[in-house]
Amino acid sequence: MRPALAALVDDDIAAAVFEASMASVVSLTAFRTEGREVVEEGVGSGVVWDRLGHIVSNYHCVARLAKDTTGQQATEVGITGAGGTMRYPARIVGLDPEKDLAVLRIDAPAADLLPVKVGTSGDLRVGQTVFAIGNPSGLSHTLTAGVVSGLNRAIPSPGGTLTGGAIQTDAAINSGSSGGALLDSSARLVGLSTATFTRRTQGARSSGVNFAIGVDVVRDRGVFLIGATGTVW
């Protein structure tokens, strides 16, 4: 019998990818202030792009902050290092709802920022092993593994259009993982985890059709979004 694809994941490679990339994946926590009370509204993920403090994530992870006109919304970025997790207030640098992309910036020491290694998505192959690191349901730095299931998919965006060039994968991407890293076996970023399609099976929700925005799209849009601030991407 042919072994399941999941069984073909090399333990040493998976561990090496996680160790090399864990510190480059951050958590996003959204808050709302109501008088003296601070209410947590959601969690997400992001990746460190450079030592200037730029964080790339999904637009839908920061949509409340982006639309806020009252000053009640805030988003914190959590960076985990040897000394634990440090949290920093984030401000928006640029947004692209049509591509479901957002660039944030935090004032963190450069020494605490480990930029993710950036690969390409144009040369991905169906069947190639990929790894997702994110914060599903607030569970910090969760690693899942799978394969590229399809390429050049079009998925709905918060802007009401379809985002092309998406990667389909069976590596689990759940609530809270959005904005996290999809990596190849060399720990290079090939996509930004974005969405999962679910179906009901005997009353329970199951998933296996997940999507990431190809890193080529992320890079191209990031150049534009950060370029508007005069900062080199």
> Of 170, 178, 193, 216, which one is the catalytic site residue?
178
Closest to 66 in 3D by CA, of 106, 13, 104: 104
> Of 100, 170, 184, 216, which one is the catalytic site residue?
100
Tokens of 161: 């259009």
CA distances to 151, 210, 214 from 147, rounded to whole Å, are 11, 11, 14
Burial class (CB in 10 A: 0-12, 13-18, 19+), 20: middle
H or E element that contains 21 = helix 11-21
Q: Is 178 a residue of the active site?
A: yes
> Of 45, 50, 57, 60, which one is the catalytic site residue?
60
Q: Are 206 and 199 in contact (CB under 8 A)?
A: yes
What does the alpha-carbon distance between residue 75 and residue 64 come to, in Å, rounded to a whole number?
9
Q: Is 141 a residue of the active site?
A: no
**Residues known to be catalytic:** 60, 100, 178
